[in-house]
Structure 1
């Protein structure tokens, strides 16, 4: 079964169940079970053993604790506790009141959220969780659905991070390029120079970012997003009425303290920023023995940095809260409720890691990569083919970085032996495809954390983001096809943006006409 077309079965079943049942835990669990059965030729006892091993290796493997995973899960709990402190202290309400006086329209609130997402480019995890903490008090007041907030967060995290050389993603990619260039004896480019030249070639990431601002400014609410936004604006219901126990959402568990101040929210968030980014740089410097930004962020310990930042911000938020002379007995409630609100996200993340491991064992990525290596394809079509294969791989496996690791070496090897002038477009196509697949995948950790940061239902986020991701991807496909034949970065980028603009205009007009028709019928 491994490395054959059958290796696609667990991912396909999981994705279909997500759409049909809208229950991500059942869907992931089924995919895990089916994958384990395929790996062990339907031997039930061996399959059960496989599932157990996949679970405990998340925490302990090869004779040592998996500290990175434990830190990330701990950071989620700290974030839940921080959210509880910010709500109970009245900081979230005070910040919402303060921002309402300055950002007075729904459009302004949405654009501001998009801008914050662009500014926080240092790491996708940090972006996903921090933007929600800052923007949610304002977007809630302006009756912007949590699904839309999650879209803004997700589509301005990975797309921005993959374009920024001074980021955890940029550093990882630059380091990978250095290894690839040395292995393939490529001397025409230096890794950093190549990364910079690849930025305008990442047609999907650029399209996704532009589309975020179009959606924010012109209220382009497509498909299920329109349902969520209409309900939020009309009835004030930010979540689907049938949804409860949403990760990151405390509802009305705490009555905000009447003496809450704006700084009760801002200062803990600023501490989170400063300590996390400072720790990322420091851990990178220690590991790389270099003070250079690129070297530091290529070797940073993101999860350790997150937990240090999270712990520092929780301590500051706790000091502010108890300075309001509240009962000490409230501390236990804040810890419990803050932890409880993050359990749905932790459960999804654990199962996503498990099915990712199962899919890795069954060779789904290897099978898809082999399709590219063994096919006889027109060289000019290779960038767009690599984009599509990378997207499918990231969609099925839920990991951009894993897709980078598999597909970048393959792309480099193919182009060196066919047409080296298309090397950078091909590598950029891999990056773009991986981010697109990541956006569409319900098992992507970034997608999970985006819905958590927004306090949105996870499947609602995946389904509402999908139409926008497809628009950007269709435009990018045309761009990568064009660059393969013309070798012109500027022309291909302009055509990509122009095509996306035309699609948006047509869809906007169609949506407006359809709503007018419904109004007339009434």
Structure 2
């Protein structure tokens, strides 16, 4: 608080470098280094020592480890559901409803609102279910990514039942020792702040306007639609090494219950106990309970995933 206006410099550097390079890791690293240089100069200390100490403090922090494990387990859950063809079942079901590119994107937006517990889980689940379908409807992967990403985080911010709400309420609670929150509790403070979360509100509204063409395709998105129109390729050459064509056969025997049971388990446990780590473990165990006895996969395959 005592460094003055120079404290804005790291944030400005992050923004400028990110816009210029279109990369985030390098921009954030430059922001961190510049911050430590400011602190070290003001306190006449060693910036390298400051950075090393901070690094180990962060990576050994309970909340950081919790986040890394939970995000990793999200990937595990999606991999298990996908191997049991649960995502295929949802894709088959949605394919009967979504006949056009617009209806496919709109359905992805609606699903993003329904699966509101966590933004990472939201994005990973919906993308796994809709990617093949959007490919078949010749939707650019860029458009699907935009719709899913601009729905997942905003809806989680706007609903006081998500991991975002718990995170921010925790921050408010920590500050309550030095600042009077004025609303009786940290969660009540968060709920009162929701109407002022303008970015989340606007982002969520813009998505359907984009889908129906009220807001035109601009810049790189316009180029993506032009690429699909001219070549039929749903993703760019730059992203080819990370993408798959999604040409695998549709599994007619896939069951929706193989998707719904673990996902509903996760949502119910999260709303009950308020801990996503416990919820995701419960969801993975629920998947094993219904997959292994039915020979959807072997025990060793389940454990590997």
Q: Deviations over 1:185-222 (max 9, x none)?
A: 958x9998887776656554433322211112227322
Aligned to 2:234: 238
Structure 1 residue runs without a partner (length 5+) = 284-299, 336-522
Q: Distance in 2 between matches of 1:5 and 1:17?
A: 20
2:96 aligns with one of 87, 101, 106? 101
| 2:110 maps to 1:115 | yes
SS in 2 for 1:17: helix
1:161-196 Cα offsets, whole Å, 9 max, x none, are 33334444456767859x97xx65958x99988877
Cα contact 1:273–1:309 (8 A) shared by 2: no
TM-score normalised by length of structure 2? 0.74
Distance apart, 1:306 and its partner CA: 4.9
Please name the residue that 2:34 is paired with: 34
Residue number among 212, 216, 231 corresponding to 2:211 in the alignment: 216
Mark the runs of 5 or more structure 2 residues left unpaired by the alignment.
none
Q: Which of 135, 139, 154 in structure 1 is aligned with 2:134?
A: 139
Contact 1:110 1:217 in 2 (8 A): no
1:152-301 correspondence runs (5 A): 152-170=147-165, 176=172, 202-218=197-213, 220-243=216-239, 246=242, 251=244, 256=248, 261-263=253-255, 266-283=256-273, 300-301=274-275
Higher relative contact order (CA 8 A, sep 6+): 1
Whole-angstrom CA distance in 2 between matches of 1:13 and 1:170: 29
**TM-aligned CA deviation for residue 152 of structure 1:** 1.9
Partners of 2:150 and 2:204 within 8 A in 1: yes
Question: Which stretch shows the higher mean deviation, 46-55 or 168-177?
Answer: 168-177
The reply on whether 1:69 has 2:42 as its aligned counterpart is: no
Q: CA deviation at 1:236?
A: 3.9
> 2: distance between equivalents of 1:221 and 1:274?
35
TM-score, length of structure 1 as denominator length: 0.47
Note if contact 2:88-2:251 (Cα within 8 Å) is conserved in structure 1: no
RMSD: 4.3
Q: 1:53 to 1:274 in 2, by over 3 A?
A: farther
Count how many residue pairs are aligned between Structure 1 and Structure 2: 300
